[in-house]
Amino acid sequence: MEGNLDVHPPGGPDHRSEPGPAAPLLGTLVEVQRRTATVCGDDGSETRCQYSPTIDLAGFSNFAVGDRVTYIRAGTQQEAMITGILPRTSKISRPGPKDRISQELILAANVDALVVVTTPQRPDFNPRMVDRYLALAEIFGIGAIICMNKADLEPSLPAELEYLATVGYPVLAVSAKQGLGMEELRSALEGLKVVLSGPSGVGKSSLIRKLIPGADPGVAEVREGDGKGRHTTTSSNLYRSGGVCIIDTPGIRELGIRGVSKKELAEYWRDFRPYLQSCRFRDCAHRNEPGCAIIEAVASGKLPDFRYQSYLRIQESMEE
Ligand SMILES: Nc1nc2c(ncn2[C@@H]2O[C@H](COP(=O)(O)OP(=O)(O)OP(=O)(O)O)[C@@H](O)[C@H]2O)c(=O)[nH]1
Ligand SMILES: [Mg+2]
Ligand SMILES: [Zn+2]
């Protein structure tokens, strides 16, 4: 088309001769507040932006850390502004009630994997908690990596984690306090955008401090009496260093399994899947039905009892 002056380049008429609006830039939300958000541009610079009043919120309920956005920098005529949002590859969210989808709360967007942080002690090892986060990762359609922190207190892996490694979940033993296993963890996370999950006090913020030079998430002692955490992290942030990108969000601590029916739940236990077609009843809930392949697999030792117990307890806790 060389020389054909009637053809405009893609994106509209040529503005070179007049001071038109600046071209939008691309970036990732690293902190989200009610009226402003911080964008880390693809060039590495950070910009505090307002939300453009003309953004079309139809189809999504809120901006979240990890969202890819278009934005403009501050100029003589305007404030720095987020102008658009790109489609998400995944989201970690709390669903709204069925008739109020817009009340969905998105905690993090474009996440590749959930890092399930657990401890051998302080707080006590809790396999049901690990299974709950693994199921959440399966429900969100993202990967899961198990990270046992505080290995300085007890270096050997609990049998439950040894088993979970055999069904395909990467398991790492680390100590944020002593810096053990940090290189292995860093290489497991390389190239991924991950959310750290796990109950209060397991050391999520401490791990970020070790992995991301200069990051300063709050860290607090677990309580003397019961070894539980204090819910120190209260805002969502995205931290980046080299190829590692970590989201610390307080919402993940209490995230329940919702938006899934009790009958579907077993599909999210990765090791249950090979048996699900063999139950006598197609709508088997795997509780006490005759001819249940899951119950038989547990009885014969093919599936460990702890996985079945966490399945039962989580299913009981679901509303339907
Ligand atoms: N012994 C030991 N203690 C650790 C280790 N990592 C963290 N801690 C301690 O555990 C306590 C809680 O750590 P945080 O990093 O605040 O835990 P968190 O998971 O971010 O907690 P919330 O923000 O409340 O969810 C602090 O006293 C840390 O010093 C570790 O590897 N070994
Ligand atoms: Mg924290
Ligand atoms: Zn069954």
> Is residue 243 located within the same domain as residue 287?
no
Residue 227 maps to a domain: yes
Sign of CA dihedral 132, 166, 160, 184: negative
- Residues 169 and 146 sit within 8 Å (Cβ to Cβ): yes
| pLDDT tens per residue across span 63-103 | 899 999 999 999 888 899 999 999 999 999 887 666 665 67
- Residue whose Cα lies nearest atom 2 of ligand 1: it is 150
Q: Which domain holds residue 308?
A: 265-317
Q: Are residues 250 and 269 in the same domain?
A: no
CA-nearest of 260, 253, 211 to 231 is: 253
pLDDT digits (tens, 9 = 90+) for 149-166: 999 999 999 999 999 999
Q: Is residue 2 part of a domain?
A: no
- 259: Cα separation from own chain's centroid: 17
Distance between CA atoms of residues 119 and 176, nearest Å? 11
Are residues 115 and 246 both part of a single domain?
A: yes
Residue finishing a domain among 85, 118, 137? 85
Q: Is residue 98 part of a domain?
A: no
User: What is the structure's pLDDT at 166?
Assistant: 98
> CA–CA separation, 247 vs 197, rounded Å?
9
Distance CA 194, CA 246 (A): 5
The number of domains in the chain is 3
Question: Are 246 and 126 within one domain?
Answer: yes
- Give yes or no for residue 26 CB within 6 A of ligand 1: no
Answer whether residue 3 shows pLDDT above 60. Answer: no
Ligand nearest to the Cα of 312, by number: 3
Note the pLDDT of residue 12. 46
DSSP string, 124-161: TP-HHHHHHHHHHHHHHT-EEEEEE--TTT--SPPHHH
The DSSP bridge partners found for residue 59 are none
Q: Based on the domain organization, do 49 and 161 belong to the same domain?
A: no
* Highest mean pLDDT, choosing among 19-28, 140-149, 196-205, 239-248: 140-149
Average per-residue pLDDT for the chain: 86
Nearest listed ligand to the Cα of residue 266: 3
Crossing angle of the two packed helices 182-189 and 204-211, in degrees rounded to 10: 90
Residue nearest to atom 14 of ligand 1 (CA): 203
Specify the pLDDT at position 71: 95
β-pairing, 81-85 vs 68-72, is antiparallel
Residue 96 lies inside a defined structural domain of this protein: no
Radius of gyration of the chain (CA): 23
Q: Is residue 9 part of a domain?
A: no
Residue 49 lies in a domain: yes
Same domain, 193 and 285: no
Tell whether 249 and 270 lie within a shared domain: no
CA distances from 202 to 32, 34, 45 (A): 24, 29, 32
Judge whether 151 and 173 are in contact, CB under 8 Å: yes
Pair (226, 274) in one structural domain: no
Under DSSP, the state recorded for 180 is: B
3-state secondary structure of 19: coil
We report the CATH number of the domain holding residue 31 as: 2.40.50.140
Ligand number nearest to the C-alpha of 198 = 1
**Ligand 3: distance of its center to the CA of 95 in Å?**
27
Q: pTM for this structure?
A: 0.86
Question: pLDDT band at residue 4, thresholds of 50, 70 and 90?
Answer: very low
H or E element in which residue 172 lies: strand 171-173
Whether residues 36 and 167 share a domain: the answer is: no
Q: What does the DSSP assignment read for 186-200?
A: HHHHTT-EEEEE--T
We report the CATH number of the domain holding residue 276 as 1.10.40.50
Q: What is the mean pLDDT of residues 260-268?
A: 94
Same domain as 307, residue 209: no
> Which of 172, 175, 206 has most ligand 1 atoms within 8 Å of its beta carbon, as the pocket-test mutant?
206
Quick check: helix, strand or coil at residue 39?
A: strand
106-144 pLDDT tens trace: 899 999 999 999 999 999 999 999 999 999 999 999 999
Is residue 250 domain-shared with residue 126, that is, in the same domain? yes
Q: Is residue 94 in some structural domain?
A: no
Nearest CA to ligand 1 atom 11: 221
Q: Where are the alpha helices (DSSP H) in 204-292?
A: 204-211
| Residue 194, token pair as written in the block | 């991950």
Would the CB of 254 count as within 6 Å of ligand 1? no
Pair 273, 226 in one domain:
no
CATH of the domain at 140: 3.40.50.300
309 lies in some domain? yes
Distance 223 CA to ligand 1 centre (A): 11
CA 168 to chain centre: 19
